[in-house]
């Protein structure tokens, strides 16, 4: 390309008329339709040229199957007017003001929203955003579990003292990772299945700080089909009414499988202890949960084979 | 009157010629030459790769290719790895198995990625395919050890069973015993993802002992260190080995037994596992290190100096996966010792810490880019970056084909100049002309997308998060990246305009994912109506999108081309926008 990248619109040709590339509609009270001219908004991007993007669908032509980036606005004309005002009776051309991410209910966004373009970097920002940093759950869980594993003493072969010293010097040690991870919100997603429902869900245990809120979230997820279903692992809990799942008044009871493979009633142990030992959850019919407290073996009574 | 070309070959000859053509691209090209070549080719195609299981239906595949022996399918979008795709979204393999059970009785190989595999599916595979040889399940879920037991019991010719990081329900450790005593054909076994109680060690030992062709064995974490020697002595021909937990009380007899066992493995080229590493046991592998080309230490929580010692013993290293404990100093050592290095992946040890816990910065990556002339593939998690470091890397390594940088804090600028990292990534795409895969992070404006659209002509996959200012950014990518196949975007302020203006582009791609962006429901509906060969799926856990204004942005959007039409196995929180006005399904 000569002279670097030339943006569509701006300088050349008949950009101003914008008759090509389809029309677009702006919803007004009178439902009058006019062409929308998109002006690149005030942002850190130096907008020497204004871009015109019609709201038309480009079928073939520029940017399509040929993949060629055409210079100038003539390419928009080649698309043809596929869409007319009739196609856009109520599409509103609307821009978020701050150029930041749109409001979303999935995942907590407070950290992301607080970051501006001024370049200040927030501290500890990534802890509350779903799926960020992008690390697979398998890897995260391995990391977490290793942090709790006891470290064998390094004596005998090797530089014993050096190793020990370096363990002390570095800020990392098993305990710190453990607590840092639990406090900052590691990937505490566990599977939840409910008797009678084939599709399981996942819940982020770190979005909760007590049994009540967890039970509330699970009730919302499984026992109510209201449109205000919270995204999994999303907003902080609102502890309001006592949960029926926990007090035995419901047809169902909340149980969990611990690290040893035993099924237990949820609520027996302190919350932190529960967090460190829970593997997955099951909403069980009360009729099947008889004899569950305090220890309960899975009803098929499978033999646990020792690995060695 | 049919004209016969005097010089055309008989079908059998053409078929024989085609049998040397293995790549899908070439096969597809061959099939488009003329009708008779299309016919011949479709009857002799044996391997098929379907990058999106919903792009085509089993019936369509079977109708065109009646003699398939090997199938590879991918299901969920990539961002499912990071919990962005809710449970129950889809990607079920069972319908495929059911159809193939009837049509392909001689099917030998099934490779799946991010699909839901049930025990029923596994049992059906075991029952239906008499010559079944290869089962690879990457990042799959939905099955238990019962399903594995069925495979073990029935698949007499099984060569490969690879469960790469799949989620397996722990029911019984005895499934391995279901391999009959007469079964000896195992070549590759990867059970590293299984939990603590899911393998009976004595059964494993016997299995390994009676399979002389075993080349790959990756154990799960539950297998203790002192059992490694036993296994290795039964399989000294191993080429790839993954340990279980690499920790034990330090005892000289155990150490020397282990070291001796490793040294008898003359063919060993790849090592992995190393959970809970006790550094003192690392020297046990030194005898094989000079031949090691692939080393996965990404679960090894050991310090930089131990990592440096190990890495310096591995001059033939081509592939290294490691935690950021390696630090800049370790990467510098790597750069001077391992001149054959092609792939480097550095994972964060403390991804949620506010402050970096280790001294790993942009300098480490610069050092490797300078010292390792064959470096092609990078995945790097770090806390800080500068434009000048990225420019250096780009200039040092124009042969990069995969560059994935994850600066852990979203929207973090160049920490020296406080500017966006547009120029740095721009240099990457400008210098690395063969770049096929790119993941962005840090503070980025629309300008970086301008660079990408201008220069990244070979780019096939782009991952974007917390970047850009306006639709212009998305427009640059969609209109400029000629080779783009997969685009995944999260938390960017891209909206309707660029998407609608480049709708045709979407048919040339495999898929587009957008979550937490500004695409309105109205635009999704429009796209679905106007583009019948695209499936436009809205994922929204707030309830039916038409219960909100049309201008309201959708939570998540997944668009993919398909010849199979809209799918019917969607959960209640997924809606397909399709051609009929009334097609919107209410929950």
Pairwise CA distance, residues A136 & B79, whole Å: 10
Q: Provide mean pLDDT across the span B9-13.
A: 87
Q: What is the pLDDT of residue B170?
A: 74
DSSP per residue, A219-233:
IIIII---S-PPPTT
Q: What is the pLDDT of residue A147?
A: 55
- CB-CB under 8 Å, B482 with A307: no
| Interchain CB contact of B223 with A (< 8 Å) | yes
- CB-CB under 8 Å, B196 with A307: yes
| Interchain CB contact of B115 with A (< 8 Å) | no
- The predicted-structure confidence for B138-179, as pLDDT tens digits, reads as follows 999 999 999 999 999 999 999 999 999 999 987 777 899 999
Cα–Cα distances in angstroms (integers) from residue B533 to residues A306, B560, B577, in the given order: 53, 9, 11
Q: Could you tell me the pLDDT band of residue A30, with boundaries at 50, 70 and 90?
A: very low
Q: Beta strand pairing status for B556-561 and B134-138? A: unpaired
Residue A144 has pLDDT above 80, yes or no: no
- Give me A227's structure tokens: 């449109």
Query: Which tops the pLDDT comparison, B279 or A18?
Result: B279
Q: What is the pLDDT of residue A66?
A: 39
Q: Could you tell me the pLDDT band of residue B470, with boundaries at 50, 70 and 90?
A: very high
Residue A80 has pLDDT above 60, yes or no: no
Residue A238 has pLDDT above 50, yes or no: no
Sheet holding A263-265, edge to edge: A197-204, A189-194, A278-285, A252-258, A263-265
| Interchain CB contact of B259 with A (< 8 Å) | no
- The predicted-structure confidence for B303-312, as pLDDT tens digits, reads as follows 999 999 999 9
Pick from B172, B280, B409: which is nearest to A122 by CB?
A: B409
Q: What is the pLDDT of residue B5?
A: 56
Q: What is the pLDDT of residue B8?
A: 73
Q: What is the pLDDT of residue B469?
A: 94
Burial class (CB in 10 A: 0-12, 13-18, 19+), B443: buried
Residue A240 has pLDDT above 70, yes or no: no
Mean pLDDT, chain B, rounded, equals 94
Pairwise CA distance, residues B498 & B489, whole Å: 13
User: Could you tell me the pTM of the whole model?
Assistant: 0.74
Residue B581 has pLDDT above 70, yes or no: no
- CB-CB under 8 Å, A131 with B88: no
Q: What is the pLDDT of residue B528?
A: 94
Pairwise CA distance, residues B394 & B429, whole Å: 8
Q: What is the pLDDT of residue A59?
A: 43
Q: What is the pLDDT of residue A204?
A: 77
Residue B427 has pLDDT above 70, yes or no: yes
Pairwise CA distance, residues B412 & B422, whole Å: 12
Of A296, A307, A253, A262, the residue nearest A280 (C-alpha): A262
Query: Which tops the pLDDT comparison, B536 or A83?
Result: B536
- CB-CB under 8 Å, A62 with B250: no
Residue A194 is classified by DSSP as: E
Residue pairs spanning A and B at CB distance below 8 A: 354
Q: Could you tell me the pLDDT band of residue B4, with boundaries at 50, 70 and 90?
A: low
Residue A174 has pLDDT above 50, yes or no: no
Residue A296 has pLDDT above 80, yes or no: no
Of B139, B72, B56, B79, the residue nearest B487 (C-alpha): B79
Residue whose pair of structure tokens reads 């044996």 in the numeric block: B46
% residues pLDDT > 90 (chain B): 90
Q: Which residues of chain B does A94 touch, with a Cβ-Cβ cutoff of 8 Å?
A: 495, 520, 551
Q: What is the pLDDT of residue A280?
A: 84
Q: Provide mean pLDDT across the span B179-189.
A: 96
- The predicted-structure confidence for B492-547, as pLDDT tens digits, reads as follows 999 999 999 999 999 999 999 999 999 999 999 999 999 999 999 999 999 899 89
- The predicted-structure confidence for A253-276, as pLDDT tens digits, reads as follows 888 888 777 888 888 888 888 888
Q: What is the 3-state secondary structure (H, E, C) of A45-114?
A: CCCCCCCCCCCCCCCCCCCCCCCCCCCCCHHHHHHCCCCCHHHCCCCCCCCCCCCCCCCCCCCCCHHHHH
Ranking A35-49, B88-102, B122-136, B285-299 by mean pLDDT, the lowest is A35-49
Ranking A54-58, A244-248, B35-39 by mean pLDDT, the lowest is A54-58
Residue B17 has pLDDT above 70, yes or no: yes
Q: Provide mean pLDDT across the span B464-487.
A: 97
CB of B196 closer than 8 Å to CB of B222: yes
Residue B12 has pLDDT above 60, yes or no: yes
Q: What is the pLDDT of residue B486?
A: 98
Q: First vs last Cα of chain A: how many Å apart?
A: 67
Mean pLDDT, chain A, rounded, equals 53
Q: Could you tell me the pLDDT band of residue B9, with boundaries at 50, 70 and 90?
A: confident
Angstroms from A246 CA to nearest CA on chain B: 24
- The predicted-structure confidence for A92-126, as pLDDT tens digits, reads as follows 333 333 333 333 333 333 333 333 333 334 444 44
Residue A14 has pLDDT above 50, yes or no: no
Q: What is the pLDDT of residue B174?
A: 86
Q: Provide mean pLDDT across the span B423-438.
A: 98
Q: Provide mean pLDDT across the span B373-377.
A: 98
- The predicted-structure confidence for B534-547, as pLDDT tens digits, reads as follows 999 999 999 899 89
* Closest residue in B to A132 (Cα–Cα): B82
Q: Which residues of chain B does A306 touch, with a Cβ-Cβ cutoff of 8 Å?
A: 173, 197
- Within the 391-410 window of chain B, which residues sit less than 8 Å (CB to CB) from chain A? 406, 408-410
Q: What is the pLDDT of residue A81?
A: 39
Q: Provide mean pLDDT across the span A132-158.
A: 64
Q: Provide mean pLDDT across the span B276-295.
A: 95
Residue A50 has pLDDT above 50, yes or no: no
- CB-CB under 8 Å, B84 with A130: yes
Q: Provide mean pLDDT across the span B298-302.
A: 92
Ranking A153-162, B126-135, B201-210, B225-234 by mean pLDDT, the lowest is A153-162
* Closest residue in B to A43 (Cα–Cα): B469
- b/e burial code for range B59-88 (CB count within 10 A of at least 16 → b): eebbebbeebbbbbbbbbbbbbbbbbbbbb
CB of B260 closer than 8 Å to CB of B229: yes
Q: What is the pLDDT of residue B197?
A: 66
CATH number of B9-45: 1.20.1280.50
Pairwise CA distance, residues B101 & A304, whole Å: 34
Q: Which residues of chain B does A90 touch, with a Cβ-Cβ cutoff of 8 Å?
A: 522, 550-551
Q: Could you tell me the pLDDT band of residue A41, with boundaries at 50, 70 and 90?
A: very low
Residue A51 has pLDDT above 80, yes or no: no
- CB-CB under 8 Å, A229 with B555: no
Pairwise CA distance, residues B220 & B116, whole Å: 22
Q: Provide mean pLDDT across the span A166-183.
A: 32
Residue whose pair of structure tokens reads 């369509």 in the numeric block: B60
Angstroms from B47 CA to nearest CA on chain A: 27
Q: Could you tell me the pLDDT band of residue A49, with boundaries at 50, 70 and 90?
A: very low
Q: Which residues of chain B does A122 touch, with a Cβ-Cβ cutoff of 8 Å?
A: 409
Q: What is the pLDDT of residue A149?
A: 36
Q: Could you tell me the pLDDT band of residue B83, with boundaries at 50, 70 and 90?
A: very high
Look at the domain A189-225+242-288 and name its fold.
Ubiquitin-like (UB roll) (3.10.20)
Angstroms from A204 CA to nearest CA on chain B: 10
Q: Could you tell me the pLDDT band of residue A142, with boundaries at 50, 70 and 90?
A: confident
């Amino acid at each position: 390309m000569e002279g670097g990248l030339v943006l569509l619109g701006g300088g050349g040709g008949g950009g101003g008329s914008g008759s090509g590339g389809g029309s677009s509609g702006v919803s007004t009270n009178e439902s009058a339709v006019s062409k929308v001219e998109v002006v690149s908004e005030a942002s850190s991007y130096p907008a020497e040229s204004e871009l015109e993007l019609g709201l038309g669908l480009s079928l073939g032509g520029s940017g399509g199957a040929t993949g060629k980036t055409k210079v100038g606005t003539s390419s928009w004309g080649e698309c043809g007017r596929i869409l007319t005002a009739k196609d856009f009776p109520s599409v509103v051309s609307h821009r978020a003001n701050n150029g930041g991410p749109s409001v979303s209910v999935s995942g907590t966004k407070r950290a992301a929203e607080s970051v501006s373009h001024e370049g200040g970097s927030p501290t500890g920002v990534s802890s509350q955003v779903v799926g960020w940093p992008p690390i697979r759950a398998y890897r995260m869980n391995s990391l977490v579990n290793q942090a709790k594993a006891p470290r064998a003493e390094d004596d005998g072969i090797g530089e014993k003292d050096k190793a020990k010293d370096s363990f002390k010097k570095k800020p990392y040690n098993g305990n710190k990772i453990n607590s840092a991870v639990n406090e900052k919100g590691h990937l505490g997603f566990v599977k939840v299945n409910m008797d009678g429902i084939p599709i399981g869900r996942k819940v982020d245990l770190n979005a909760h700080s007590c049994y009540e809120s967890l039970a509330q979230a699970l009730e919302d997820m499984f026992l109510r089909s209201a449109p205000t279903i919270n995204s999994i692992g999303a907003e902080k809990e609102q502890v309001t009414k006592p949960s029926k799942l926990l007090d035995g008044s419901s047809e169902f009871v909340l149980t969990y499988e611990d690290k040893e493979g035993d099924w237990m009633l949820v609520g027996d142990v302190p919350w932190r202890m529960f967090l460190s030992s829970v593997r997955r959850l099951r909403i069980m019919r009360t009729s099947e949960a008889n004899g569950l407290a305090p220890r309960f073996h899975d009803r098929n009574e499978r033999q646990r084979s020792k690995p060695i | 009157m049919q004209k016969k070309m005097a010089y055309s070959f008989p079908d059998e000859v053409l078929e024989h010629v085609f049998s040397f053509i293995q790549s899908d691209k070439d096969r597809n090209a061959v099939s488009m030459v003329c009708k008779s070549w299309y016919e011949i080719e479709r009857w002799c195609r044996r391997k098929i790769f379907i990058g999106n299981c919903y792009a085509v239906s089993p019936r369509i595949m079977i109708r065109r290719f009646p003699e398939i022996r090997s199938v590879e399918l991918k299901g969920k979008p990539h961002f499912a790895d990071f919990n962005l795709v809710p449970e129950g979204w889809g990607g079920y393999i069972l319908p495929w198995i059911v159809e193939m059970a009837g049509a392909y009785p001689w099917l030998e190989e099934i490779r799946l990625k991010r699909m839901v595999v049930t025990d029923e599916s596994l049992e059906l595979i075991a029952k239906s395919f008499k010559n079944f040889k290869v089962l690879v399940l990457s990042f799959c879920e939905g099955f238990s050890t019962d399903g594995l037991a069925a495979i073990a019991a029935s698949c007499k010719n099984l060569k490969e069973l690879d469960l790469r990081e799949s989620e397996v329900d722990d029911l019984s450790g005895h499934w391995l015993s279901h391999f009959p005593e007469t079964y000896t054909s195992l070549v590759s076994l990867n059970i590293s993802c299984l939990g603590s109680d899911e393998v009976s060690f004595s059964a494993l030992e016997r299995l390994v002992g009676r399979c002389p062709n075993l080349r790959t064995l990756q154990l799960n974490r539950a297998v203790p260190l002192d059992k490694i020697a036993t296994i290795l002595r039964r399989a000294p021909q191993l080429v790839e080995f993954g340990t279980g937990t690499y920790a034990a009380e330090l005892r000289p007899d155990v150490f020397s037994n282990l070291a001796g066992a490793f040294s008898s493995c003359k063919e060993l080229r790849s090592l992995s596992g190393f959970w809970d590493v006790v550094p003192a046991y690392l020297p046990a592998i030194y005898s094989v290190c000079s031949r090691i080309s692939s080393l996965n230490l990404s679960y090894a929580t050991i310090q930089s100096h131990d990592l440096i010692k190990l890495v310096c013993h591995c001059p033939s290293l081509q592939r290294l996966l490691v935690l950021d404990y390696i630090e800049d100093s370790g990467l510098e050592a790597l750069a001077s010792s391992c001149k054959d290095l092609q792939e480097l992946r550095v994972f964060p040890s403390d991804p949620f810490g506010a402050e970096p816990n280790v001294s790993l910065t942009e300098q480490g990556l610069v050092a490797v880019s300078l010292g390792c002339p064959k470096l092609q593939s990078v995945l790097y998690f770090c806390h800080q970056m500068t434009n000048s470091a990225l420019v250096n890397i780009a200039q040092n390594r124009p042969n990069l084909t995969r560059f994935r940088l994850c600066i852990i804090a979203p929207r973090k600028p160049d920490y020296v100049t406080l500017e966006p990292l547009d120029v740095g990534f721009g240099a990457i795409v400008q210098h690395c002309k063969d770049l096929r895969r790119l993941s962005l992070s840090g503070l980025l404006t629309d300008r970086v997308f301008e660079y990408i659209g201008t220069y990244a002509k070979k780019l096939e996959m782009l991952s974007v998060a917390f970047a850009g200012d306006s639709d212009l950014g998305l427009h640059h990518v969609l209109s400029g990246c000629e080779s783009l196949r997969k685009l995944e975007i999260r938390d960017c302020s891209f909206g309707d305009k660029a998407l609608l203006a480049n709708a045709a582009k979407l048919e040339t791609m495999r898929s587009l994912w957008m979550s937490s962006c500004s695409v309105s429901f109205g635009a999704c509906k429009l796209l679905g109506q106007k583009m019948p060969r695209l499936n436009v799926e809205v994922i929204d856990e707030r309830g039916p999108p038409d219960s909100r204004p049309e201008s309201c942005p959708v939570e998540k959007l997944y668009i993919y081309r398909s010849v199979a039409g809209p799918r019917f196995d969607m959960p209640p929180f997924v809606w397909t926008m399709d051609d009929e006005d009334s097609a919107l399904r209410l929950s």
